[in-house]
Structure 1
Amino acid sequence: MNTPTTESLTLQEQGQQLSVLGAFANSEQFQMATQAAEMLASSSMVPDAYKRNPGSCFIAINTALRLRMDPLMVMQNLYVVHGTPSWSGKFAIALIQTCGKFNGIKFEERRDGERLVGMRLVATKKETGEEVRGVWVTEEVADKEGWLKKNGSKWVSIPELMYRYRAAAFFARTECPEVLNGLSVEGEAEDIAGKSQPDIKLPLFKSREISGGDVVDAEKVADSPRQLGDAEVPGKGDVEVPPPHIRLMEALSCTEDQLNKAIAKASGDKVKGWHELNDKQKEKLAANPDKLQPFIG
């Protein structure tokens, strides 16, 4: 059996390198992606945000290479808000369904009469048969985060759809973060930025022109994390701060059930889970995740 060297990578190593670096894996791959970007930018079939914009086309191609997907599919399901890309909600759900890790994906609901007041995504791991549950997205959370109060909020007009998109995003971040490739999901940034959300339809782009006819990044309403103090600067606003339990799960790489069990162990079973803590305790724990690390099983 040949021993791989730095000069001669095995096919498996080359595949791993390509999945990580995409178009930047080597000079040949970079040149091919550049040529493909020029070709797509001149096409009338790509979404408006990519027309005459080879730079954005190149980024879409690079994302497609890393995720091993068709570039046009990525373009049709990726929109850009102030330079930050986000997946469409239904595509995020499709990424979870097709990642190969889970069976029996479903949305679990909580209702108060006819009104939907909570939702989470539940799935079964293929390898172990273990049922994994995403974080609950509740009406209480939506209210505290201000998602229900924003002008033109889709949480008011189509709440069930927004619950699904947010439940899928929370599940992906805790159970299969690699499928999102580090991107946000439709609706998240709009809620953070405080502007109304766009109609949910394809293509999810609306290009704008600058002097000279050059097309710049599409804007679909605010979604990108923004710096404090920049609220009056066009395209900027408040810093994105996820809820404390989401920050904790990301820091500890654990599920909601594991987090609740760790809290119970750490408190000697005096506190059964996250929801029994007050807001001050939650923020203090989120700022010091190392205290729970020894109790994560």
Structure 2
Amino acid sequence: MNTQNTDLSMNTDLATSPSQDIGYVKTPDNLLLFDAEMFNRVMHLSEIMATAKAVVPKHFHGLPGNCFAVIGQALRWGMDPFAVAQKTFMINDNGILAYEAQLVNAVVNTRAPVESNLQYEWFGPWDNLLGKTKKSESKSGRAISHQDWDKSLETQVGVTVSATLKGETQPRELTLLLAQAETRNSPLWVSDPRQQLAYLAAKRWARLHVPEVLLGVYTPDELENREMKVVNETPQPAKKSSGVAGLKQRLQERKTPAKKAEPETVEPNPADDTAYFEGVEALQERIENATSPSELKEVGLRIRSCVSDGFIDDATEEDLRVQYSNKKTMFDLIAKVSEANADNVGDVRQALFDNQHLFSQDEVQAMLQTLEGIAG
């Protein structure tokens, strides 16, 4: 087998080079959680970053909440927040903040306790896959690239990633076949599967051998297409109140205003077997307007039905899944804050920081105040 450590040709200086490219800043991982002064400084920097439209991507423009999230993550990684921000993107306009696989690999190389950078060794007939693509048109008219290789080849090609932990003499290895990469949320899986598999193998290696490095950080290719379901249903408050209870009530007030002119409703014709479809916008509004986990669950079931009936293509299903996942995360976090105790308040606060871009600043502050009261 031929070891090729330079094959990750796309911006390899970021993928393999440590502090000088990202901007290394030594910061304790938990400083933001327990240092009020640092928290306030990050809040102030978030306001500045939100106005720095020339140097940060548009999903941070005017959104200090998003800025707070990426600054907090950069501090935990010991990196320059502005450099990290450049390597992020938003999954759809209403999606979640995600990190480029290239950046995550750089984090593994700089933060993991390894003697040297990760090493990659590919095997199998990769030449029979590379460049084998075809194009088709989606229902919306969008051109989509697809793989045009024999699916059985995916069990024959793969990559082995290895690195030696400090204090050890033998490298730890992880081998991954292309067939094992079930979730492929990037078009690069079609145009450059070799590189994408290397990125995925590196992340899985890190989660197995040094899990503390990537806690709470994922790229789209690691997000499985889970069944839409809701747990930990949270009851709605009967009256206005402060703290988390008030936050739940504010969620009810988030509903999208009703349109002045309702579109004509087409009822299903009992004379034929044509199923009824209310439209994608209606499903999006139902997700946005859901005020409880049970309401959200009903929307999820409806979406699954529409997918089964063929009304929703893959791209639209993914858009709805991301929006659904965001809303579910909001309900789950509210439940966690409501049930927090002295033993887990730090973990709950961390979860809130990781997902605070889903809430308004007032909502984040309301939950933080509740957690501060628990922590004493």
Match of 2:103 among 91, 94, 104: 91
Partner of 1:236: 321
CA contact (8 A) 1:107 1:121 kept: yes
The one-letter code matched in structure 1 to 2:121 is: E
For 1:141, give the aligned amino acid. Answer: Q
Larger Rg: 2
Equivalent of residue 90 in structure 2, options 80, 87, 99: 80
CA-to-aligned-CA distance 1:249-269 (integer Å, 9 cap, x gap): xxxxxxxxxxxxxxxxxxxxx
Q: Distance in 1 between matches of 2:126 and 2:219?
A: 29
Counterpart residue type for residue 36 of structure 2:
S
CA distance in 1, matches of 2:128, 2:203: 22
Distance 1:36 1:178 in 2: 26
Alpha carbons 1:101, 1:127 under 8 Å: kept: no
Q: Secondary structure at the match of 1:236?
A: helix
2:158 is aligned with 1:118: yes
From 66, 70, 87, give the equivalent of 1:56.
Answer: 66
| Higher fraction of helix | 2
The correspondence of residues 9-28 of structure 1 with structure 2, limited to 5 A, is: 18-20=28-30, 22=32, 24-28=33-37
- Structure 1, unmatched stretches of 5+, are 1-14, 194-209, 212-225, 240-297
Distance 1:52 1:101 in 2: 37
Cα 1:126–1:46, aligned 2, differ >3 Å: closer, same or farther? same
CA contact (8 A) 1:43 1:51 kept: yes
Pair 1:154 & 2:188 matched: yes
Q: What amino acid sits opposite 2:177 in the alignment?
A: T
Change (3 A) 1:31 1:140: closer
Q: 1:67 Cα deviation (Å)?
A: 2.0
- Alignment check: 8 A CA contact 1:80 1:86 kept: yes
CA distance in 2, matches of 1:26, 1:125: 31
Q: Spell out, residue by residue over 1:181-213, the C-alpha distance to the aligned partner (whole angstroms, 9 max, x if none).
A: 321125333x748xxxxxxxxxxxxxxxx99xx
Q: Among 35, 47, 52, which residue is 2:44 paired with?
A: 35
The one-character-per-residue Cα deviations of 1:53-98 (angstroms, maximum 9, x if unpaired) are: 1111111111122222211122112333354333211112211211
Tell whether the 8 Å contact from 1:155 to 1:162 is kept in structure 2 after alignment.
yes
Aligned to 1:107: 120
User: 1:75 and 1:128, CA in 2 relative to 1: closer, same or farther beyond 3 A?
Assistant: same
Deviation at 1:40, TM superposition (A): 0.9
Whether the 8 Å contact between 1:165 and 1:185 is mirrored in structure 2 is no
Report if the CA contact (8 A) 2:77-2:111 is conserved: no
Deviations 1:198-235 (A, max 9, x none): xxxxxxxxxxxx99xxxxxxxxxxxxxx9864556853
- Letter paired with 1:170: R
Deviations 1:120-151 (A, max 9, x none): 311112211221012x2213324xx364xx8x
Tell me the SS of whatever aligns to 1:125: coil
Instruction: Give the corresponding residue for 1:67.
Output: 77
1:19 and 1:188 map into 2 onto residues whose CA distance is 24
Identity between Structure 1 and Structure 2 (%): 25
Q: Which residue does the alignment assign to 1:245?
A: none
For residue 206 of structure 2, give the secondary structure of its aligned residue in structure 1: helix
Look up the equivalent residue of 2:178 and give its one-letter code. Answer: E
Superposition map of 1:1-297 within 5 A: 18-20=28-30, 22=32, 24-44=33-53, 45-81=55-91, 83-104=95-116, 105-112=118-125, 114-115=127-128, 117-134=157-174, 136-142=175-181, 145=182, 147=184, 153-189=187-223, 192=225, 229=301, 231=304, 235-236=320-321
SS in 1 for 2:124: strand
Aligned-partner Cα distance in 2 for 1:184–1:46: 20
| Change in CA separation of 1:49 and 1:161 when aligned onto 2, cut-off 3 Å | same
Flag the 1:62–1:118 CA change in 2: closer, same or farther, 3 A.
same
CA gap of 1:177–1:86, structure 2 versus 1, over 3 A, is: farther
Q: Distance in 1 between matches of 2:29 and 2:178?
A: 38
* CA contact 2:57–2:89 (8 Å) conserved in 1: no
Match of 1:235, as an amino acid?
L
Alpha-carbon distance, 1:175 to partner: 1.3
Q: 1:38 Cα shift?
A: 0.6
Q: Which amino acid aligns with 1:26?
A: D
Closer, same or farther in 2 for the Cα pair 1:146/1:90, shift >3 Å? Answer: closer
Q: What is the CA distance between 1:21 and its match in structure 2?
A: 5.1
Q: 2:51 is aligned with what amino acid?
A: S
Q: Which amino acid aligns with 1:106?
A: Q
CA distance in 2, matches of 1:132, 1:125: 8
Distance 1:113 1:90, change over 3 A: closer
Say what the alpha-carbon RMSD is for the aligned residues.
Answer: 3.3
CA distance in 1, matches of 2:121, 2:36: 47
- Superposition misfits of 4+ residues, deviation over 6 angstroms: none
